[in-house]
Copies of this chain bind each other. A is one copy, B any other.
Amino acid sequence: MIEKVNIPEISQKHLHGIKDLTVDDINKILELSNFFKLNNREKDKNYPILKGRTIINLFFEPSTRTLISFEIAAKRLGADVINMNIEGSSLRKGESLQDTANTLGAMNPDLVVIRHGIDNATKQISEILSCPVINAGEGINEHPTQALLDAYTIINNERNLENITVAICGDLEHSRVARSNYYLLKKMKSNVRFVYPEFFKPKDLDKYDVETFTNLEKGITDADIVMMLRIQNERISDMKLPSKESYFEKFGLTYKKLKLAKPDALVLHPGPINRNVEIEDSLADDIDKSVINEQVENGVAVRMACLSIMVK
């Protein structure tokens, strides 16, 4: 344990989405994340301010990396962590969501982290629970800790969020990551671009105050940040997708295309990567351009910050 830190308060009881947060809330979370990033590079990574607390990770969709990130975060804070990895199919919707929430709530958790395939499931569950919840990715609505870790990664690379141009590229239609990033970046006064092939045009496009591009080259031209999205195959049913090769040719990020962005542009991707579909293999691993691994490291720190702040 390297030093002591003050845990700030924010305006919200729950972390449903970036939409609800103030600029001040976001800055507090990002600042605290910095402390935990340093903490996590120490030998002793325990900062047990949540000792004696019970945190439940309630995951209705499979998600190895986000679940593990939250699990590590909670354990480093000293909490007792319970993982509930429920297949979407094993519970009927409606009543059962309510009953699961009732049951968990009765066990006196101090916080529940929820991943769910349906928009607003987190809000429904939080109305039943008396403890705070954190949305760990919900339908195509929001994934707030991802946007926070993306913002932290940008700042941590000596960029300012204000007045930068961020091109969010790829499967905009199905991406909660894109939506949370949009809300955060707009609050912080970044310029946001949505860059997508026509078949991934977001159905709710008129809600967003963005420049749009259907050509990747044009969309990333002069961008400070190129944020590639994962193709959400699990949320795509009938749609006829082009072949991987053809997608990569038109919408995959390559060294060549990246030259159109600012010379020091950063490449982000929430992972897991579809190599040579969304992004050129070697570019993904180029630590001078890509900060994908930093995003993962920062994810644990940001989630420790969120857990510390939200648990009362």
Query: Footprint of B on A, CB under 8 Å?
Result: 1, 40-46, 51-54, 56, 64-65, 68-69, 71-72, 75-76, 80, 82, 84, 86, 95-96, 99, 102-108, 110, 271-273, 275, 281, 292-297, 299-300
Question: Is the pair B300, A108 in contact by a Cβ cutoff of 8 Å?
Answer: yes
Report the minimum CB–CB distance from A38 to chain B (whole Å). 11
Report the minimum CB–CB distance from A206 to chain B (whole Å). 36
Question: Is the pair B99, A45 in contact by a Cβ cutoff of 8 Å?
Answer: no
> How far, in angstroms, from A275 to B96 measured CA to CA in the complex?
9
Question: Is the pair A296, B44 in contact by a Cβ cutoff of 8 Å?
Answer: no
Q: Determine the residue in chain B with the shortest Cβ distance to A40.
A: B108
Question: Is the pair A103, B271 in contact by a Cβ cutoff of 8 Å?
Answer: yes
Question: Is the pair B72, A80 in contact by a Cβ cutoff of 8 Å?
Answer: yes
Chain B contacts for A102, CB-based, 8 A: 292-293, 296
Report the minimum CB–CB distance from A67 to chain B (whole Å). 9
Question: Is the pair B294, A106 in contact by a Cβ cutoff of 8 Å?
Answer: yes
Question: Is the pair A69, B271 in contact by a Cβ cutoff of 8 Å?
Answer: no
Question: Is the pair A99, B271 in contact by a Cβ cutoff of 8 Å?
Answer: yes
> How far, in angstroms, from A147 to B78 measured CA to CA in the complex?
33
Chain B contacts for A300, CB-based, 8 A: 107-108
Knowing that A68-B84, A71-B82 are A-B contacts, what are 15 other residue pairs whose CB atoms are under 8 Å apart, sorted by A's residue number? A1-B52, A40-B108, A43-B52, A45-B53, A46-B51, A46-B52, A54-B75, A56-B68, A64-B86, A68-B82, A69-B107, A76-B80, A102-B293, A106-B294, A108-B300
A-B contact pairs, 9 of them (CB 8 A): A42-B52, A44-B53, A64-B84, A68-B104, A75-B80, A95-B281, A99-B275, A102-B292, A103-B272
Q: Determine the residue in chain B with the shortest Cβ distance to A73.
A: B107
> How far, in angstroms, from A204 to B299 measured CA to CA in the complex?
45
> How far, in angstroms, from A225 to B52 measured CA to CA in the complex?
35
Q: Determine the residue in chain B with the shortest Cβ distance to A312.
A: B43
Knowing A76-B80, A84-B68 touch, does A106 contact B296 (C-beta < 8 A)?
yes
Chain B contacts for A68, CB-based, 8 A: 56, 82, 84, 104, 107
